[in-house]
Structure 1
Amino acid sequence: MFPNISKELLWLESRPEILNGIQRGIEREALRITKSGFISDTPHTEELGKALTHKWITTDFTESLLEFITPADNSIKNTLSFLRDLHRHASICLKNDRIWPLSIPCFIENEDKIIIAQYGTSNLGRFKSIYREGLKNRYGALMQTIAGVHYNFSLPIEFWNSKASIDNIKSGKEQISEGYLHLIRNYYRFGWIISYLFGASPVIWKSFIKNKNPMIFLNHKECYLPYATSLRISDFGYTNKSQNNLNITFNNLDSYILSVKKALSKSSSKFKKLGIKRNGKYIQLNTNILQIENELYTPIRPKRVLKNNDFMLEAFLNKGIEYVEVRSLDVNPFSAIGINETQASFIEIFLIWCAIAKTPKISNKEFNRCKQNWNFITTKGRKPDQTINYKNKNKSITNIGKQLFDDLARIAKVLDICYKTNLYQNTCHKLNLMIENPSLTYSSLVLNEILEKGINNYGLELSKKYFNQLINEKYEIITKEQFEKAKLDSIKKQNIMEQNEKKSFEEYLRTYTSRLT
């Protein structure tokens, strides 16, 4: 039976003010390309500052994979305006390059064109580059060029206070952590709805797949699945099969920390064969299942802001979980900044549902069924009468979706009362139409465009359109002077780090490794 949360909804409807103070932030990855539609092979420009130390604009796997980061904010509008300012500024600074508007990269014929991100000569900078070298050698560079959007979300202390009688964040860290793990378990059970609605990668390059079946080939380079929503997060995309047997569930904080620590300290026979160095140069940080915590690929994960030299797991143990990071969102090609207000508001409605809906502990067997459901949705979610496994029974997506949206509509109304807006209810009404009509989903619309134009032509057309839009817009939140200051601060900070480095890299790495046990 679908979770009955009538009591929880009545509780929420009687106190809408407890949702006042939601914090959110966005991290958008975006490949930098040439005007001709090829991956850019030039270094990250210093016009944008230093990627290692800039607070808003950095790089991810490759020098060409930009990452835009917004600070936490209590307004969706401000967050999206801030993100748009970052895109405006980057477009101006890039000059001859453009920003690729899709999750699946432009066509990359030669992986040698993918330049590992460089962060200078400090130990931290070398550490970050070698970690990426490890990703390349473990999984291939091509997979690492797939881009996504991460949505960071936290509920206000008033929510936790009302739900679990918490006085403050410090004394209530255990209850808040349990609350976020509760949310995460529901996300694993029902979060496929995000890929169904907003998945935008139904087509992929042939070079990403090893087995032709069951793909349909558009030509000798591109292939697709007719009912796919997000091949990006399917088994064909950004996945790591070596992590399938880690048995990392989210039933309590101690077991989560213990499971991740085991993966961080246990050597992998596969990665051991690679070695740590080749011709005297590091090719990975270590031979463990995970080099660092960020190598754990999940559609959602617990997070907190780190200070000084904190490890995430140590910080969880000492201070608890602070927020969640939703990682299953494809880049939205219908937005110049990769995400829109409808998506942001829906994610928040859904995450609140995840926080209040009943969710029993999740077994390893059910966890694997959840992952299988996600794969069904990402590869054939728009198929007529598509079902998923729920409580050992096959249930139609339409049936579950309708029941879910009945609850979401009530949460949306509470949010609109709290924030004196119509945004959340309008979002529910708009997206509810996609449940019965999959042709309205992002993946369906994207597939139609790509079938007509091809990935590269479609992506290049949009990149030019958005470039012309962005460079002609005025900044809304960040001033030109603030951008200049952020750039100079990042250069200064990196220089200080490099000049004040006292440890050898080997000593730095030994210190890191000793903290894993």
Structure 2
Amino acid sequence: MSQPESTSQVVVPTWVDSSLFKGMLRGIERESLRMQSNGFLSQASHPQALGSALTHPHITTDYSEALMEFITPPQDSIEKALDYLADIHAVAHRHLENGEKLWPLSMPCMLDDNEENIRLAQYGSSNIGRFKTLYRRGLGVRYGRRMQTISGVHYNLSFPDQVFEALQQHESDEALKSLSLQDYRSHRYFGLIRNFIRLTPLVMFLVGASPSVCQCFMTGRDHHLLPLLKGTLFLPYATALRMGNFGYQNSAQKQLGIHYNNLSGYLDGLQKAVKTPYAPFSRLGLNDEQGEPIQINDHVLQIENEYYSLVRPKQVPQAGETPSQALKNRGVGYVELRAVDVNPYSPIGIDENTAAFLEVLALHCLVQDSPDLLDPEQEQIERNQAEVVNRGRAPNATIVDAAGKHPIEDWARTQVIKMQPWADLLDAAYNTRMYSAALAVMLNRIDEVDETLSAQVIADTLEHGGTWGFGSVMALQHATTYEQHSLSPDTLAYFEGLAEQSLQQQQQLEQDTSISFEQYLADYR
């Protein structure tokens, strides 16, 4: 669907009706470290009362044992998704032990010098449980365990089939018109992904909230960060250091050439990476001196999920399917927007404004033309991302695109203004003003750079004497919010039932000893 380009307003085709967008679904995944009362990373195991991290659908762990992950099921409104996430936080907080709290920032709380004290996530003695822990051990060997303490927010979003049916009906290209709905849906979602990648600098500028880090995170690493005050490092105009060189970066992955121009090319690239040995990882070896495995394999990626990207095409896997097989068999079902820092001012890590902004942005990315993303443009986008990550709030920060070089505020304002018609449509579909209000908040951050989350984080870090001081003040505030959050008897019973059920499921998996772990791993390798 071709849209006339305009710096002021996007023209919405007359056939687009707000009712098309009823039926959008969104789910949220939020990560948060457990910290001890002294501010150091928790050394305790995942609380038993919360159930099994292996099999619980909503409360699990990610890379390290102390990194909790809260996952909502898909919801038909933003309010319901945020309410569900708030319930999960309140339930989890009830079962934290020894005065532990949830750390509110994307970059970690206090880490000591010994990386071994960043415990790998444990999933029990079943083959799948041990495999998951081994994958994390491999990540630690490859990139260092400090990486396994970074938290983010992933926003999952799907559009209803009637949107794709209407878009396809109005295509002028006969080849696109003749695609099956599944293939056309995948085609449009890949267009969304390419446009989202083009606009990730905007996301980092508007919702980036990691302009500084605790000095302990940089132990043993070369860096160009400056001291903000004792124990805290920063860059004066940074927005989202988590999204830069200190986050998950993999030089091996850079050479993969995985592209988002179509589903088959994307899957081919992933498969190649999972099967291609990479010399620096081969040198690490597969086993330690005791003969214990230290990584799943020595390939560019141990498993598909190791490919770290800012946005992912997703399909819910069925029993026994890998993520790639699910995509191949049923096409793209939703997108996972991953370039989002934890908002330290929200007790649940994300607020209504960010959620609504991401949905307008995603719709905007879906309906605009989306040419193939080729290497020269990809390299320019990466330069733009680095500019925003490291100095996005600088008075002379610039973005370069096909039209030339722009001051970041001008470029960002142009992009947000183009989204307004889609915000109006979503407001009409959901009978709300939430979407337009969110864009107004974002325009205010563009006009007043001190209103950005990253600027506020720096001001509050200074006020509270450092990362630890600011983080602990917010953690305490959030803990009070969780305690005051009322959980209905039904909700409490539901989560208690899930915890019990998940422990039973883990036990069942552990009783299956028909194949040894050594054989299980050999079969995978």
TM-score range, shorter chain: over 0.9
Aligned to 2:176: none
Aligned to 1:10: 12
Shift of 1:512: 2.8
Aligned to 2:241: 231
Q: 2: CA distance between counterparts of 1:439 and 1:55? A: 39
- C-alpha contact (below 8 Å) 2:231/2:466 kept by paired residues: no
Task: Give the 3-state SS of the residue equivalent to 1:104 in structure 2.
Answer: coil
Q: 2: CA distance between counterparts of 1:114 and 1:416? A: 44
CA deviation vs aligned residue, 1:440-460 (integer Å, no higher than 9, x gap): 100000011112320011111
Give 1:114-153 correspondences, 5 Å limit: 114-153=118-157
- Identical columns (%): 36
Shift of 1:388: 1.5
Task: Give the 3-state SS of the residue equivalent to 1:328 in structure 2.
Answer: strand
Pick aligned residue for 2:401 from 367, 387, 390: 390
Is 1:26–2:28 an aligned residue pair? yes
Pick aligned residue for 1:193 from 177, 193, 202: 202
Is 1:97–2:100 an aligned residue pair? yes
Q: 2: CA distance between counterparts of 1:423 and 1:463? A: 27
How has the CA–CA distance of structure 1 residues 150 and 2 changed in structure 2, closer, same or farther, with 3 Å as cutoff?
farther
Shift of 1:424: 0.7
Aligned to 1:427: 438
Task: Give the 3-state SS of the residue equivalent to 1:286 in structure 2.
Answer: coil
Shift of 1:494: 0.6
Is 1:479–2:491 an aligned residue pair? yes
Pick aligned residue for 2:110 from 83, 90, 107: 107
Runs (5+) with no aligned partner, structure 1 = none
Shift of 1:315: 1.5
Aligned to 1:292: 303
Q: 2: CA distance between counterparts of 1:60 and 1:478? A: 28
Aligned to 1:355: 366
- Residue type matched to 2:118 in 1? I
Q: 2: CA distance between counterparts of 1:399 and 1:438? A: 12
**TM-score, structure 2 length as denominator?**
0.93
CA deviation vs aligned residue, 1:413-446 (integer Å, no higher than 9, x gap): 1111111111111111121111122111000000
CA deviation vs aligned residue, 1:91-122 (integer Å, no higher than 9, x gap): 11103211000001012023222110110111
How has the CA–CA distance of structure 1 residues 194 and 377 changed in structure 2, closer, same or farther, with 3 Å as cutoff?
same
Q: 1: CA distance between counterparts of 2:430 and 2:385? A: 32
Number of residue pairs matched by the alignment: 512
Q: 2: CA distance between counterparts of 1:117 and 1:3? A: 48
How has the CA–CA distance of structure 1 residues 481 and 379 changed in structure 2, closer, same or farther, with 3 Å as cutoff?
same
Task: Give the 3-state SS of the residue equivalent to 2:355 in structure 1.
Answer: helix
Question: Which of 495-504 and 147-156 deviates more?
Answer: 495-504
Aligned to 1:75: 77
- C-alpha contact (below 8 Å) 1:204/1:222 kept by paired residues: yes
- C-alpha contact (below 8 Å) 1:301/1:325 kept by paired residues: yes
Shift of 1:362: 1.1
Is 1:262–2:272 an aligned residue pair? yes
- C-alpha contact (below 8 Å) 2:49/2:499 kept by paired residues: yes
Shift of 1:477: 9.7
- Residue type matched to 2:242 in 1? R
Q: 2: CA distance between counterparts of 1:476 and 1:462? A: 26
**TM-score, structure 1 length as denominator?**
0.95
Aligned to 1:63: 65
- C-alpha contact (below 8 Å) 2:209/2:453 kept by paired residues: yes
Question: Which of 425-434 and 211-220 deviates more?
Answer: 211-220
- C-alpha contact (below 8 Å) 1:44/1:63 kept by paired residues: yes
Q: 2: CA distance between counterparts of 1:39 and 1:319? A: 41
- Residue type matched to 2:197 in 1? Y
- Residue type matched to 2:517 in 1? F
Give 1:168-207 correspondences, 5 Å limit: 171-207=180-216
Shift of 1:402: 2.0
Shift of 1:287: 0.2
Shift of 1:81: 0.5
Runs (5+) with no aligned partner, structure 2 = 171-178
Question: Which of 7-16 and 259-268 deviates more?
Answer: 7-16
Aligned to 1:413: 424
Shift of 1:2: 9.8
Q: 1: CA distance between counterparts of 2:180 and 2:375? A: 31
